[in-house]
Amino acid sequence: MKTRSSKAARLEDVAKLAKVSTATVSRALTLPHKVKARTLERVQQAARTLGYVAHGAARALASRRTHTIGAVVPTLDNAIFANTIQALQRTLDAAGYVLLLASHDFDADIEARVTRTLIERGVDGLVLLGTTHHPDIYRMLESHNLPYVLTWAFDESGNHPCVGFDNRAAGMCIANHLLDLGHRRFAMVSGITAHNERAQERLAGVREALSAHDIALSPGSVIEKPYTHSGGREGLREVLKGNEAPTAVICGNDVLAIGAIAECHAQGLKVPDDVSITGFDDMEMASLISPALTTVRFPTAEMGVYAANHLLARLDDRSVELRNKLPTELIVRASAAAPARK
Amino acid sequence: MKTRSSKAARLEDVAKLAKVSTATVSRALTLPHKVKARTLERVQQAARTLGYVAHGAARALASRRTHTIGAVVPTLDNAIFANTIQALQRTLDAAGYVLLLASHDFDADIEARVTRTLIERGVDGLVLLGTTHHPDIYRMLESHNLPYVLTWAFDESGNHPCVGFDNRAAGMCIANHLLDLGHRRFAMVSGITAHNERAQERLAGVREALSAHDIALSPGSVIEKPYTHSGGREGLREVLKGNEAPTAVICGNDVLAIGAIAECHAQGLKVPDDVSITGFDDMEMASLISPALTTVRFPTAEMGVYAANHLLARLDDRSVELRNKLPTELIVRASAAAPARK
DNA sequence: TTGTAAGCGTTATCAC
DNA sequence: GTGATAACGCTTACAA
């Protein structure tokens, strides 16, 4: 019972069994309404008995369509982009498309390489993350005339179709909230800003809001850490080292915030009474874990749906909006007024 | 500057420019050592100036290889499988392969459909999650003679190549740990067991260990919830409703455990003094968040590497191990002896 | 409504 | 080492 490698059935085999031409089989399978009901049935029957599965490469070569969308993300190590990818995949699947996924660990060269690989694989469209990309990438997109959309990005220049949030505004929002509560001594446990414009923008937004109140973040009060719990713990420890302890610590995202809170507990600091911890809720989990955590929420899943629909619309030659700024939301879970001391 | 759609260059164009045949270009690009150094250079130069990118479908059609691996997971909504997928993708990328990803939301029919789609797209190999699959899936795998590997699964029968852990043993392990501490009144907040053998096995393992001590989980003390924080909160609430409150609650995974702990806090219950919470650390985060949480750790990333290498080896016609049971580890963070009362 | 046949852009098998 | 040329399995005018 082992040697049953009777070669996968081809269109021709189905045609023979159904006693029609290959053209008819092809039509029956892709445009069922274009063939007579009786022949359609014969073809379907034949396909079923042979266990026929179309050969995608041949189909793609002939039709110049792969029904495949590529997505390139920095990482999947954590759940940050998982929501978006999941929503993307679902929406594409419903439209008969398939997702080709690649990641690059925040390395611009790797990103260019894997993107090229996806294009080579013939993706009909491409989802990229952020606006900052290797020039080769934009060059390839143009020369192949490939539909694409940038996610987790809002391109100010208006040159690229994109869907995302305004991370800078989110940063300002959270800083202003803390300023309103009376805080004046700030620190930030930021994500690694290198090749990550989202982290950069959040930090920039915080700085901008603070500087409007003549407050500057000293070098020692901005610590960059990877988006991990231990990053958050270490970050908080380092931020507290300075001679003037901050009353408010802004964390680059929720994973960092959770780590920071854990470290506070470990050090016997009460949150938010001794120190206020806030963050950006990439993973939509911070708020559930710590009811004391005020965050900015990003509609990450909606973004995946938008991105998919944008691409699908362009593949159908429907005209579509090129820019979508999704709304973010400040979720105030607990207010900690700045301590009166000093 | 807008109309530059000068059609992507083909192999023939490169050949013309380099004044060689298409055959030579093909060789130069895929088997560089098979052509003279001088021609190689001419070809590469020509390819570069034309911005040549190979046509994957044509290549696949001719070579019967797509250099693509498919993976079908239940969901990406949470980070549970993200580690594995990330490790898988990295390992494949290093070997020149690309990842085609699909999810099915724990629906067996959808799973069969998307798997079929991946096969149709010509994947060279397939990564499936778990052992329980639609018969059509196994049928297609066989008729296409397609290399595959089951992950997050350990197939007792030995019929399928697989890499995973023994979830039942993990369940027994955690239950025995609690029994050792003197607990006698148990409850479990399990994941949804339908079409999820991992959740089933964990529950079964717990039941088995308990029954060895003549303890049975009453219907009301096993609550199934989706792997979300709110699932954990609700689960704990329901589990406490019974007339005899449990001293130990075992959670189906870390997300549930975190939710359960949050609910304990909300209800003023101290963990682990009033009630002991334990779980399975799918996402490797529980322990960091709550130092009071004893868990079983699964090497999820290693699993992705194993799965990828297994497939790669088979594609190279190297013989490989078919079964890998990865070690799990009980991480005891805090011990809560069962309360003496009653 | 169905059939015929010409591609689609590579790779692979031969000769040379 | 290199060049013709026949596949590869399907779609799609165009004809019938």
pTM: 0.84
pLDDT at B340: 67
Q: State yes or no: pLDDT of B177 exceeds 70.
A: yes
For residue B60, what pLDDT band results from cuts at 50, 70 and 90?
Answer: very high
For residue A317, what pLDDT band results from cuts at 50, 70 and 90?
Answer: confident
pLDDT at B4: 33
pLDDT at B1: 27
pLDDT at A228: 83
Overall domain count for chain B: 3
**CA atoms of B264 and B255, how far apart (whole Å):** 14
Question: Does residue A319 sit within a domain?
Answer: yes
Question: Does residue B5 sit within a domain?
Answer: no
Q: State yes or no: pLDDT of A20 exceeds 90.
A: yes
**CA atoms of B164 and B300, how far apart (whole Å):** 9
pLDDT at A6: 53
Q: State yes or no: pLDDT of B284 exceeds 80.
A: no
Cβ contact A101–B78 (<8 Å): no
Cβ contact A85–B76 (<8 Å): yes
Cβ contact B258–A289 (<8 Å): yes
Q: CA of A318 vs C1' of D7, distance in Å?
A: 38
Question: B162-166, long-range: CB within 8 Å, 24+ apart, which pairs?
Answer: B162/B131, B162/B322, B162/B323, B162/B324, B163/B303, B163/B306, B163/B307, B163/B310, B163/B323, B163/B324, B163/B326, B164/B303, B164/B324, B164/B325, B164/B326, B165/B298, B165/B299, B165/B325, B165/B326, B165/B327, B165/B328, B166/B201, B166/B325, B166/B328
For residue A287, what pLDDT band results from cuts at 50, 70 and 90?
Answer: low
Q: Tell me: do B232 and B115 sit in the same domain.
A: no
**CA atoms of B63 and B68, how far apart (whole Å):** 13
**CA atoms of B259 and B228, how far apart (whole Å):** 7
For residue B155, what pLDDT band results from cuts at 50, 70 and 90?
Answer: confident
Higher pLDDT, B149 or A1: B149
For residue A203, what pLDDT band results from cuts at 50, 70 and 90?
Answer: very high
Give the dihedral sign, CA B173/B175/B178/B182: negative
pLDDT at B282: 81
Question: Does residue A339 sit within a domain?
Answer: no
Burial of B95 (0-12, 13-18, 19+ CB in 10 A): middle
Question: Does residue A340 sit within a domain?
Answer: no
pLDDT at B78: 66
Q: Tell me: do A156 and A180 sit in the same domain.
A: no
Instruction: State mean pLDDT over B4-21.
Output: 83
Nearest to B114 by CA among A1, A88, A94: A94
Question: Does residue B188 sit within a domain?
Answer: yes
Q: Tell me: do B36 and B70 sit in the same domain.
A: no
Q: Tell me: do B172 and B278 sit in the same domain.
A: yes
Question: Does residue A252 sit within a domain?
Answer: yes
DSSP H or E segment with residue A98: strand A98-103
Q: Tell me: do B93 and B119 sit in the same domain.
A: yes
Instruction: State mean pLDDT over A154-161.
Output: 87
Question: Does residue A189 sit within a domain?
Answer: yes
Q: State yes or no: pLDDT of B82 exceeds 90.
A: no
Residue A37 sits at φ, ψ, to 5 deg, of -55, -40
Q: Tell me: do A183 and A290 sit in the same domain.
A: yes
pLDDT tens across B193-226, in order?
998 999 999 999 999 999 999 999 999 999 999 9
Q: Tell me: do A80 and A158 sit in the same domain.
A: yes
For residue B309, what pLDDT band results from cuts at 50, 70 and 90?
Answer: very high
Q: State yes or no: pLDDT of A218 exceeds 60.
A: yes
Structural domain that includes position B46:
11-54
**CA atoms of A62 and B53, how far apart (whole Å):** 18
Q: Tell me: do B137 and B176 sit in the same domain.
A: no
How high does pLDDT run on average in chain A? 88
DSSP A95: T
Domain of B146, CATH number, reads 3.40.50.2300
pLDDT at A266: 77
Q: Tell me: do A153 and A235 sit in the same domain.
A: no
Nearest to B302 by CA among B165, B111, B100: B165
Instruction: State mean pLDDT over B61-79.
Output: 88
B3 touches A: beta carbon within 8 Å:
no
Q: State yes or no: pLDDT of B2 exceeds 60.
A: no
pLDDT tens across A51-82, in order?
899 999 999 999 999 999 999 999 887 667 88
**CA atoms of B262 and A221, how far apart (whole Å):** 30
pLDDT at B288: 60
Q: State yes or no: pLDDT of A44 exceeds 60.
A: yes
- Kindly report the number of other CB atoms within 10 A of residue A274's CB atom: 14
A 216-245 residues with CB below 8 A of B? 229-230
Q: Tell me: do B118 and B175 sit in the same domain.
A: no
Nearest to B306 by CA among B185, B199, B205, B161: B161
Q: Tell me: do B191 and B90 sit in the same domain.
A: no
A 61-80 residues with CB below 8 A of B? 61, 66, 68, 75-79
Complete edge-to-edge strand list for the sheet that includes strand A68-73: A323-325, A162-164, A148-151, A125-129, A68-73, A98-103, B98-103, B68-73, B125-129, B148-151, B162-164, B323-325
For residue A1, what pLDDT band results from cuts at 50, 70 and 90?
Answer: very low
Cβ contact B82–A77 (<8 Å): yes
Which positions ≥6 away from B99 have C-beta within 8 Å? A100, A101, A102, B68, B69, B70, B71, B85, B88, B89, B92, B93
Closest CB to B5 among A55, A101, A145? A145
Q: State yes or no: pLDDT of A129 exceeds 90.
A: yes
Q: State yes or no: pLDDT of A239 exceeds 80.
A: yes
Question: Does residue A28 sit within a domain?
Answer: yes
Q: Coil, strand or helix: which one is A60?
A: helix
| CB distance A177 to A169 below 8 Å | no
Q: Tell me: do A283 and A180 sit in the same domain.
A: yes
pLDDT at A210: 98
Closest CB to A61 among B61, B102, B262? B61
